[in-house]
Amino acid sequence: MAQPRIVIVGGGFGGLAAAKALGKTPAQVILVDRANHNLFQPLLYQVATAVLTPSQIATPIRTILRKQKNTTVILGEVTAVDKERKCIFVSNADREGVPIAYDYLILATGSTHSYFGHNEFAEYAPGMKSLADAVATRNKILQAFEQAEAEEDPSRHRDLLTFVLVGGGPTGVEMAGALAVLVRTTLKSDFRRINPASARIVLVDQSQRVLTTFAEKLSKAAKQRLEKLGVEVRLGNSVDLIDADGVMTAGERIASKTVIWTAGVAPSPAGKWLKVDTDRAGRVRVQKDLTVPGHPEIFVIGDTASLEENGKPLPGVAQVAMQEGRYAAKVIRSRVEGTSTPGLFSYFDKGTMAVVGKGFAVLQSWKVQASGFGAWLTWAAVHLQFLATSSLRIAVFLQWAWTYVTGQRGSRLIVNHHESQPVKAAEVAPRKPAAA
């Protein structure tokens, strides 16, 4: 008898956890992702601020699953799902809408950034979700210093050296702290006409405090730490406009050439593919076994799923996605093997952390609330542990130790397209005819 086929869409935190948990299942597992790598998003800000290189936070999915004989990895973008025919449609470089049939489907397609209805902001304030986003942000930040150094009119330095971060959640706070350390340590003595340490870093959020998902005491500690690092924290006001000249907030213009969006997220279009009930944000409302109502063979997990526990929606964090991935795999495995089905999904919250500059983090786990160097060491250990491979763990550990001691960063490169553009025919000098 042919083995059942389990198709997983998305090789991020949730999808990869599911794929690994299905490694010994007597089934054919197919993992489809539009990227060839699994990305450790919590460290994206370190690529954007030049601490780490892109290859230190991402690993080819094919490499991670290479020993898993029952699993095939397909590079392609899923564009639709046909629930009745039980197949997904995948497009890649040269083929569109290729159907892949499934017996069980796990959708783990994550989320993207949301501009809360102001998509026009995207042009001036890029978000950070992929490796390409982080490299583009790094280019933008480093380019601003280069432009300012090249600019002879000092009155133009101000907006080039003003960096605005929109959103005071973990990404905004971590990014602001890392940027402050970059300008005040790494770049300090590299320029002649400008003083990088004079850069203005502004963090804007409409909430009354940063890190709203943390206890108030920890939000306060994070804000104080940011201010100590020289970050201007502006709370209680939304950003009403973002354009080429900066942002407008609370009726005031902040002139800036570098605005970075670290605010909301929106789920993948999985709800639209499935044509099922979603929450206000567009996340698929799943049942307590993570399946879609009426379709016990379709599981939706991670950032693209909506599930409430104790009257509150589960947060869009890596732990939720991984635990859901493992659970979905367990349910499918029990059905394939004909063993007893596990109980309903229940999230085990191990806690949450955010780092604020060098050697300082805030940590909240059960009744423990801590901030400072000890919390930072815990943050570092946990993040190292969750990197996909041992080689990444070693590389990142060594880079962090080097950066901590010397202040130097791993990847201060501006990588532009023009470097590899072919020379136009008209610009090529005519070749002399070969000597007879």
Catalytic machinery residues? 174
Instruction: Work out which of 317, 362, 363, 392 binds ligand FAD, going by CB under 6 A.
Output: 317
Instruction: Work out which of 302, 356, 361, 409 binds ligand FAD, going by CB under 6 A.
Output: 302
Instruction: Work out which of 30, 31, 33, 360 binds ligand FAD, going by CB under 6 A.
Output: 33
Stretch that binds ligand FAD, among 108-116, 283-291, 366-374, 405-413 (CB under 6 A): 108-116
What's the token pair of residue 79? 């564009």
- Asked if residues 37 and 58 have their Cβ atoms less than 8 Å apart, the reply is yes
Q: Judging by DSSP bridges, how do beta strands 71-75 and 28-33 pair with one another?
A: parallel
Stretch that binds ligand FAD, among 37-45, 93-101, 183-191, 207-215 (CB under 6 A): 37-45
β-pair partners for 265: 113
Q: Please tell me the count of residues contacting ligand FAD according to CB under 6 A.
A: 32
Question: Applying CB under 6 A, does 129 fall inside the site for ligand FAD?
Answer: yes
Stretch that binds ligand FAD, among 4-12, 116-124, 366-374, 406-414 (CB under 6 A): 4-12
CB of 75 to ligand FAD, least distance (A): 9
Question: Applying CB under 6 A, does 316 fall inside the site for ligand FAD?
Answer: yes
Of all residues in the shown chain, the one whose CB is closest to ligand FAD is 12
Question: Applying CB under 6 A, does 133 fall inside the site for ligand FAD?
Answer: no
Instruction: Work out which of 20, 23, 35, 237 binds ligand FAD, going by CB under 6 A.
Output: 35
Name residues contacting ligand FAD, limited to 387-426 (CB under 6 A).
none
Which residues, including other chains, have CB under 8 Å from residue 372's CB and lie 6 or more apart? 360, 361
Helices (H) and strands (E) in the chain, counts: 11, 27
Question: Applying CB under 6 A, does 128 fall inside the site for ligand FAD?
Answer: yes
- Asked if residues 257 and 160 have their Cβ atoms less than 8 Å apart, the reply is yes
Nearest CA to 8 out of 110, 105, 99 is that of 105
Name residues contacting ligand FAD, limited to 39-98 (CB under 6 A).
41-42, 44, 77-78
Instruction: Work out which of 25, 56, 162, 171 binds ligand FAD, going by CB under 6 A.
Output: 171
Residue by residue, DSSP assigns 139-196 as: HHHHHHHHHHHH---GGGHHHHTEEEEE--SHHHHHHHHHHHHIIIIITTTS-SSS-G
Which long-range contacts does 349-353 make (Cβ < 8 Å, 24+ apart)? 349/319, 350/319, 352/170, 352/213, 352/214, 352/317, 353/378, 353/379, 353/382
Instruction: For residue 393, give Cα distances in angstroms to 56, 170, 381, 399.
Output: 9, 22, 10, 10
Helices (H), 338-431: 373-386, 390-406
CB of 35 to ligand FAD, least distance (A): 4
CB of 164 to ligand FAD, least distance (A): 17
Local structure of residue 85 (DSSP, 8 states): T
* CA–CA gap between residue 94 and residue 97 (Å, rounded): 10
Nearer to ligand FAD, 194 or 210 (CB): 210
Within 10 Å of residue 121's Cβ, how many Cβ atoms? 22
Question: Applying CB under 6 A, does 109 fall inside the site for ligand FAD?
Answer: yes
CB of 37 to ligand FAD, least distance (A): 8
Write out the residues near ligand FAD by the rule CB under 6 A. 9-15, 32-35, 41-42, 44, 77-78, 108-110, 128-129, 170-171, 268, 302-304, 316-319, 321
